[in-house]
Chain A
C-alpha cells in the first residue's frame, strides 16, 4: 500500500484490513510533513480530528459494521467549506482564527461516509483567482515545478493530490476553480451540475455560479467522491431534488462507441498554447479510435462569457462579502472604544481583504448601482441566457462537448499577478459551464511539448447528465494510460523528501 495508490485501491486495502485507516492517515501526514513546506497545499491540519475519525472507522470495521466505500480514505478540504470547530479562513485575513460552529452539508456527508479529513487547503482569497497567489497566507506551489502556480482558486486541493498528500480533495468551482487547477497539476476535477451538490456551508463568492465538487487523481476516484457528496439538501434552496446520476457506473463503463462528441469552435485558436492544442487534439483522436463520433459545434455567445462573468460574479460577491464587517465573527480592526461601528467596519474591511477581493467588490458595487444596473448586471444576465441557449443547441447535436480546460499550462508564480486581465483569461474555457449551470470535468491528457507540463482536457455535459462526463472521462483515461504506460503523475519530478 502506497500513498501513490488510488482512493479505490486504498478503499480495497482498508476493506481487506491490509492497512488501518489510522495508518493510512499517518502515512499521508508523513508525506505532508515531508513535502508541504515546499508545496504549501495546506493552511491547517486537523490531526486530532482526523485520527479520531480514522480510529472510529477502524473500530467499526473490526466490529464488522457495513461501511461506505470510501470509509477510512483521507481527504483534503478546500478552506472555503466550513467544518465545525476547525479554522476556516477562505484564504483571507478576514477570517483568521474563526472556528465555525457548524458543518457544511458536504462536510457532514464526508464525515457520515467515514472519510478522514486531513486538513484545509490553500486557495485564492474567497476563491477569487486562478493561481492561489491571492491567498493571504502565501501561494501554493505546483508539484510539477515549484516555481509555477498550481492553478486557482483551488490550487491547494489540486497540489495536495499531485504531491500525494491526499488521494481525494474537495474543491469549489465558480468559473473554473476546480477544473483549471486540475488541468495544470495533472489531476482530475469535476464541477457538477449547479445544484447537484449542496452549497450549504460553502462560503459564497458568487451564489449563482459556485458549486462544490470532487477532485482526485483518477476518474473513478472522482466519481466515488462525487457519489458521496451529491444529492438534494433541503438547506440549500437551489439544490436539485432529483436522483444523482450513477457516475460510478459511468466511470467504470469505458465505452464511448457511437457517442457524439462536440468540439466547440470558439474554445480553440488564439490565446491557446500550441502544446495544449496538440495534446487536446491527440486526446480527441483517441476518442475517435474508441468509436466516438466527432461533431464541430459553434457557440457564438461564448465570446461574451468572460465579460458577463466579470459582472455577475463581482456583483454577487459585493453583496455576499458584505457580512464580513467584524460585528459577529472574524477580524476586528480599530475597536479602541473611541471609534464608531461604521469606522471599525471600514478599517476592518480595509485591513482584512486583499487587493483582488477589493477589486471585485468595487467592480460589483459599481455594476449594481442604480443607473448602471441594466447596462451591466442586466445585460450580463441576458448574456447568460444566450450562453445557455448556445449549450442547448449544441447538446442537440452531441452528447458531450469537449475543449482544452485552460488555454495554457501552469505559468510562473508572479508572472501574471499584476495583470488581472491576463489572469482572468485563464478561465476563458471553463466559465461558460458555470454561466449555464451545467457539468464540467477536467482530466489530464498529456504533457505539452514546450514545457513538459500537464494539459487538461475538459468534458462538458448537459445539466443533470453528469454521468456522461464520467463515461467519456473514464474511457479516455484508460486509453491514455495504455498509451503512456503509467499514470501521468509518474512523469512528474520527485519532490524532495517525498515518500
Chain B
C-alpha cells in the first residue's frame, strides 16, 4: 500500500534546500563582450573568450558584479570584502574550456534571509528562509541531442552545440536548510521562489522568465521520521521551471521518498530530473560516485574586492521591497486584500501599476487586465502583456473616462488591438467605433424609436420612467451600440417632457 502526501507528511518531516540559478540581464557576457540576447541564431554571439579558444582570457563584467551585490543586499546578505572565482573542472562538449569559471568557497555575498508569507490552516504565517550564499558563475552552452528517444546524449544520433549561452552571467542563490515547514513545504518552496523572483524583477537584474530558463530552481529535499530531529539523505531535483512545478516537485519527492523509507529502502543521494507532465522525478547521475571537480582559484582573474563606498552607493539604489510595495499600493488604490493577491498571483501587479501610472483608474486597470485580457491570454496560453501593451490598455481606459468610448465599444477596441489591427486609435478609426455624441444624430434615432413604439412613449409621458429602457435599447440598437446610453436616456426623457 503506498502512502499519499497527507499520509507521508504525517510520518515524515521534510527538510528543504533551494538553489536558484538566475541569468543576469547584462548586455554582455560574464567574461567577454559578446551579446546575450535570447533566441539569436546559434553560435552568432561568440568570440575567442566564450568559445574557450587557446590563448583567450576572461575579464569580469562589472555590471554582473554590481547586480550580484544588489541581489545580496536585497536578500540581507553581507557583501564579502574579498571574493574569488574558481575553476570547476569537468569535461562536457557544451563547456568550451572544460571548466566552469564559478565562485566556490569565496562567494560574493553570504548569510542573508528572505521572509515569505503563506496561508496556513491557522491563517497567514511567515517563514524565514536563511540564505547561505549568493555567488557568480558563467552558464554553459546548449546541447541539442538529435535522434534517440530520450533527448539525452546517450542514444542520440548526433548532437548540435550552440555556444551563444556559454558565458552568460549566472547568479546562484543557495538557501541554508529550511527546517520545520511540516506539511507546508511545497507552499513554502513556491512562495520563496516567487518572492525571490519578485525581488529580482524589482532590481531589474534579470528577466526572471522561468519558462525561458532565466530563472531555474533546484530543489533539495530529505525526510526524517517525524519528531526524530535527524537529517535524512537528500535528493536534488534539477531544473524545476515554474512555480507550480516547484510545489509539485517538493510534494512529489516527499511522497516518493516516504514510500521508499516506508518499504525499508534507502534514499540514494542523487540528482533527479523533474518531469513536467507527470510531476514525478526521474533519477539522474548518482552523487555517491560524486564527480571530483578539482576546484582551484582561477589564476586568470584577480579577486573581486568591492570597496565599501561602492556598496553603500548601491544600497541606496535598492528599490522598495516587494512586500512593502504591495502594502503601499493596496492603500493607495484602496483595493481589498483578495484582489491584491489576485493581481500578484496573476503576475500582473507591475502591469496594473504601469497602467495606473499612465493615468488609468486603478479599479478599471485591474478589471481589464485580470478580466477580458487575462481570459484571452489563458485561452491562448500566452502572457497577458504579450497580447496588448500597457499603453494601449491605458489609452482605452482613458477614452472611456473621457466618454469617447463605452464599455461595450472598448471591448471591441481591445479585441481589435489583440487581433493586431493597430493601436486603439487606429482600431477606432478602422472599425468606426466612435461614440455617437452628435445630438442631432441621436435625436433622429430617438424620434424614430418613438414613432415605432408610440404606446411606450405615451407611458413615459405619463410618468412611467422605467419604460424608457425599451426605447433606449432601440436607440442603442439603431446606433450599433456606439451611443452613450446615459446621454440617450437624458435626451429621450427631456424630449418626452420628463
**Which residues in A have some Cβ–Cβ distance to B below 8 Å?**
81-82, 88, 90, 95, 98, 100-102, 104, 199-204, 206-208, 234-238, 315-316, 318-319, 322-325, 327-329, 340-342, 345, 365, 368-370, 373, 377
Contacts and interface: CB of A to CB of B under 8 A. Distances in A.
Nearest to B292: A370
A324 B98 CA distance: 9
Nearest to A201: B55
Contacts of B91: 322, 325, 342, 345
Nearest to B94: A327
B55 A100 contact: yes
Contacts of A324: 54
Main secondary structure of the interface of A (DSSP, over half): loop
Contact of A237 (B48, B52, B300): B300
Contact of B51 (A88, A208, A328): A328
A269 B394 CA distance: 88
Contact of A104 (B55, B60, B89, B299): B55
Given A207-B300, A340-B153, A327 B59 contact: no
Given A319-B99, A327-B93, A341-B159, A234 B292 contact: no
A328 B53 contact: yes
Interface size bucket, B side? 20 to 34
B301 interface: yes
Contacts of B296: 315-316, 319, 368, 373, 377
Given A319-B294, A323-B98, A341-B153, 14 more contacts: A200-B57, A204-B300, A207-B299, A235-B59, A237-B60, A237-B301, A238-B302, A323-B54, A324-B54, A327-B93, A328-B53, A345-B93, A368-B89, A368-B294
B337 to A, nearest CB: 51
8 contacts: A82-B54, A201-B55, A316-B299, A319-B89, A323-B54, A323-B96, A345-B93, A369-B294
Contact of B55 (A200, A238, A368): A200
B93 A341 contact: yes
A199 B57 CA distance: 8
Given A101-B48, A341-B153, A235 B99 contact: no
A152 B19 CA distance: 48
A328 B52 contact: yes
Given A368-B294, A369-B292, A373-B296, A322 B98 contact: yes
Given A322-B98, A323-B98, A101 B300 contact: no
B51 A202 contact: no
A329 B56 CA distance: 14
Nearest to B32: A235
B133 interface: no
B58 interface: yes
A329 B51 CA distance: 10
A354 to B, nearest CB: 16
Contacts of A237: 57-60, 300-302
| Most chain A CB neighbours (cut-off 10 Å) among B52, B91, B96, B296 | B296
B54 A322 contact: no
Given A319-B87, A322-B91, A236 B57 contact: yes
A323 B52 contact: yes
A325 B54 contact: no
